[in-house]
Amino acid sequence: MTTLAGKTALVTGAGRGIGLGCARELARCGASLVLNDRPGSPDLAAVAEELRGLGGSCWAIEADAFSRAGCEELMSRAVETAGRIDILVANVARSIRGDFLTYDPADFQRVVEGTLMSSFHIGQLAARRMVEQGQGGKIVFISSVHAETPYARAIAYNAAKAGLNHLAASMAVELLARRINVNVIEPGWIDTPGERATFGEEAVGQGGAKLPWGRLGTPADIGRAAAFLASDNADYITGTVLRVDGGFLLKDAR
């Protein structure tokens, strides 16, 4: 049984989608939560109220996790508010699709900064805090199957997620002696508001039936994996990529 009682987790991008799914599962396992979403988030306050209803402590902090200054502000306020950070679930990403030959270099930079650089920033700051606390910690990055498969019209996102996987592995090496576990989850096609906005309701509805598991993944599927990796049950796991995709990458092998 996964339990996170007595632990405090920081979840970025927690207003909706995968971040919200992770926050819900961590709360159900007994963790206290610091939830982050972008400034002006229309979702964060309601999410925090919902999760407080599960019986644990929950704080909401709006901050720009796409920038170093925003991550520094977030970490400072999180520690000031909650007292400590034992778990980080980093769900920071930006995706801009387009054809490679006409892809705007500025968009490429925005995606890499919003996906890879932001993960470095929040990951480094969380790890520093965990080292100061002296009791180890758990860092979980949300990557993507795009890290393994070079999908068309996603040149920047593919590269950023592949870089994120290697960033996490490199962090895991350097943090071994500190007993800080660093792992990655690779979601497949997950039913989120962002996916429905990108592909349309009809495509999302029909796409799930064609997948090996007969459905799209849910934010809760990713949340349960994050809760496991954040728990003592995963104490001997670090530098690992856990694919949670219902066989998505195996669909053409049948």
Q: Is residue 240 part of a domain?
A: yes
Q: Comparing 19-23, 107-111, 190-194, which segment has the lowest mean pLDDT? A: 190-194
| pTM for this model (two decimals) | 0.97
State the catalytic residue, choosing from 41, 119, 144, 231.
Answer: 144
Summarize the confidence of residues 229-240 as an average pLDDT: 98
Helix and strand totals (H; E) in the chain? 9, 7
Residues in the chain: 254
- Which 8-state DSSP code applies to residue 117? I
Question: What's the pLDDT score for residue 43?
Answer: 95
pLDDT digits (tens, 9 = 90+) for 159-177: 999 999 999 999 999 999 9
State the catalytic residue, choosing from 7, 32, 118, 157.
Answer: 157
pLDDT digits (tens, 9 = 90+) for 57-75: 999 999 999 999 999 999 9
pLDDT digits (tens, 9 = 90+) for 141-150: 999 999 999 9
Question: What's the pLDDT score for residue 218?
Answer: 96
State the catalytic residue, choosing from 161, 170, 210, 231.
Answer: 161
- Domain extent for 196: 8-244
Amino acid 111 reads V
Percent of the chain with pLDDT over 70: 100
Question: What's the pLDDT score for residue 8?
Answer: 98
- In the chain, at which residue ranges do the beta strands (DSSP E only) sit? 8-11, 32-37, 58-62, 87-90, 137-142, 180-187, 241-244
Q: Is residue 250 part of a domain?
A: no
Q: Is residue 44 part of a domain?
A: yes
Q: Is residue 139 part of a domain?
A: yes
The string over 177-197, giving b where at least 16 C-beta atoms fall within 10 Å of a residue's C-beta and e elsewhere, is eeebbbbbbbbbbbbbeebee
Q: Strand, helix or coil at 48? A: helix
Q: Is residue 45 part of a domain?
A: yes
Q: Is residue 213 part of a domain?
A: yes
Among candidate residues 174, 168, 176, 130, the one with its CA nearest the CA of residue 147: 168
Question: What's the pLDDT score for residue 204?
Answer: 84
Question: What's the pLDDT score for residue 254?
Answer: 82
Among candidate residues 248, 226, 228, the one with its CA nearest the CA of residue 91: 226
Percent of the chain with pLDDT over 90: 89
Please indicate whether residue 157 is annotated as part of the active site: yes
The CATH code of the domain that includes 219 is: 3.40.50.720
Please indicate whether residue 144 is annotated as part of the active site: yes
Domain count of the fold of the chain: 1
Question: What's the pLDDT score for residue 201?
Answer: 83
Q: Decide if pLDDT at 99 tops 80.
A: yes
pLDDT digits (tens, 9 = 90+) for 30-52: 999 999 999 999 999 999 999 99
Q: Is residue 189 part of a domain?
A: yes
Block residue for tokens 């892809």: 103
- pLDDT higher at 158 or 200: 158
pLDDT digits (tens, 9 = 90+) for 173-212: 999 999 999 999 999 999 998 788 777 888 888 888 889 9
Return mean pLDDT, the chain.
96
Please, which pLDDT band fits residue 153 given cuts at 50, 70 and 90? Answer: very high
Q: Is residue 134 part of a domain?
A: yes
